[in-house]
Structure 1
Amino acid sequence: MSGYKHLTHEQRVLVEDRLNHKTSIRKIALELEKAPSTVLREIRNHSLFVPTIENDCKHKRNCNLKNVCGDALCSNKCYTCHSKCTKHCDCYEKALCPKLETSPYVCNGCKKINGLCTYDKTVYYAIDAQKKYKSLLTSTRSGFDISEQELEKINTLASPLIINGLSPYHIKQTYADEITISEATLRRMIDKNALDAKNIDLRDKVKRKPRKHSEISPLSTAKVGHFYGDYLKYIEENDVCVTEMDCVEGKKGENVALLTLTIPSLSLQLAFIMEYQNSSCVVEALDMIETALGTELFSQVFPLILTDNGSEFSDIKGMETSCITGSKRTSIFFCEPNRSDEKGSCENHHKMIRYIIPKGASLEPYVQADISLMMNHINSYKRKALFGKSAFDLATAVLPMDFFILLGLEIIPPNEIILRPSLLK
């Protein structure tokens, strides 16, 4: 049987069609590769109830009562007044269709469904079923696990500042003790209109296109638990340093490539030369770094790695597993397809590599010592975006000194930095 518990819209269309042709629940389930109980539950939960406008009293055929409602001007028998007598008659008993008491418990396929039936109807329509399913799915995932008092407090503190142009990050830093939810949750509350501040009050929100959510391909089952949505949930629940991983290609057609590791919070980028741009060389490069640093320091600096969907990053277990202890050394997550902006810091830092090794230039003449020299110059470069600091200035204030010593990282004096191809010539 299929491992997916939820029915798709196409499957619901098939259910409606088979019900209209009086196919049994068991045969429908067999065709969908689902359990019969799943199909039956789908029909019961998502069918549409259509009340009758006719008189549905079970005694109407033998009823001769008049003026039950007290209208002296009416001379008709009460059962001809459609449903009026049901409100006044003590003898009224609702008539139920006996067919609805047996499988499949809906009126699909009944010849009398189009106007000849006087019973309440229960009909399964695929379109309505899909709408009910989506509505329920949304409502069960849109709540926030906070009290009304907490929500009011967050609204009072955050909304005026957001309307004044301040970011949720700034607000979270300012009121870290009062606002106990994460920045991501605060943004979701704004997006769900739970606060007075709206998306239009956020500077960047209105400029971004909505993210496209694609269906998970059966070919991507190995990445279940490692998708971008899982990454967002993980960083919301865990306060960890994020590293972005990517590859830089050289001349078209050659095998050599660079594996880059970027720590966005420090603007620090490392690069390691690989003989081939494939999964085994990526694992080999990570193993080399772990061997140099030790498992404990490796896991401390690189607890979470975000990368793209390239085939060179397909060996998830190899990348996550320590080559020394066999335990888990890091957590690997993937961006959504064609969304390089989700690891934008890594992409932006590649521009500085291209200052020294232009795009299309061969990487074959270089060894790791050349690449390390290049990255030392890049990481020693003082940048306006870092308020006159270099990446090394930030990193040395946070990371253990062993990290720099064991990887052979050196600070280049400001007046000796070269960001031209001549550096490696």
Structure 2
Amino acid sequence: MTQFHNNTESIKGKHLTQAERAQISILKSEGYSNRQIAERLGRAPQTINNEIERGTVQQMSRQKQNGKTYDYYHTVYDPDYAHDAYMENRKHCGRRPKWSLSDAFVDWADRQMLEHNWSPDTVVGTAREHDFFSDALIPCTTTLYNWIDQHIMRTKNIDLPEKLRRNTKTKTFKTRKHKRYLGPSITERPADVESRTTFGHWEIDTMIGAKQKHDAVLLTLVERQTRFEVLLKIDAKDANAVTKAVESLVGRAGDHMSSLFKTITSDNGSEFSTLYETLKSVTNVYFARPFASYERGTSENQHKFIRRFIPKGQSISDISDRQVQRIQRWMNDYPRKILNYQTPHDCFVKAFKQTQIA
């Protein structure tokens, strides 16, 4: 007689396990009815009926007698056959994954991520915003990341630079006082600059390549509301080179300088020591607090995009002005989630036109 004195309770609503199928086979061979087996296992009688019906196989026994062969057939519940059939059926359960419906989205997504350096979120958001595919084919961002992890895509994690360098640790910030005065502090900046509700507020910074004294650097400017980027290659990381580039920029802006550049926020680097004096007659300049790069977070995030093309240690002197302009164009034509998957270029044009109407 099989022993059933145990303290393990069967969980209702769950599928039968392989161990329970073995118990069903033993109890069936001992003459228990389906209802008695259900009571023993704590299962519904119909569940046991269905299981035995699905797991019953026909077996044959052959017997020879007086030179003749006799075949006898009988049915029996086979727990191994029942479990194998269950596992095979499970493969067909649930909704089919979206990638199995069509290769169109997967191929397009791989092309955007591998050839155009798009992020998975940009791929999903742009596809939905512009109705490139039906909703039945477009996954959510998390699912697309899972497809990459599961090697369904040609894209690998190493092809996603932001994912590899992402740091999820909580940072603490300490406020430091200015040790040198280059101009008005960021604390004096109008509140609408922080809220990004108005157009024409910029952040300025420099980005180095190789740590060499005579290597060129990039002067970067980003408009806070639209994320529109301006890249200028300058000869050195010093005040003279920055002043020359800024004066050239003012000349190019011409009569639109006041509507294009309402404020500029800078860090306290020595290369910006003359920035306030250079621009005080045409716009307002403010300086972030020392060691507070988070106060110019837009500029720092933009540098991550640039680093996709100019990694740390690469000489900027070896990069042509034409290549710098290609990087700038790529950044300004890159759909952003923060802009509802519009491009910075389109948002910049719209915002500038609004200032002209006003």
TM-score by length of 1: 0.40
Question: Which one has a bigger Cα radius of gyration?
Answer: 2
Greater RCO structure (CA 8 Å; 6+ sep): 2
| Between structures 1 and 2, the one with greater strand share | 2
TM-score by length of 2: 0.47
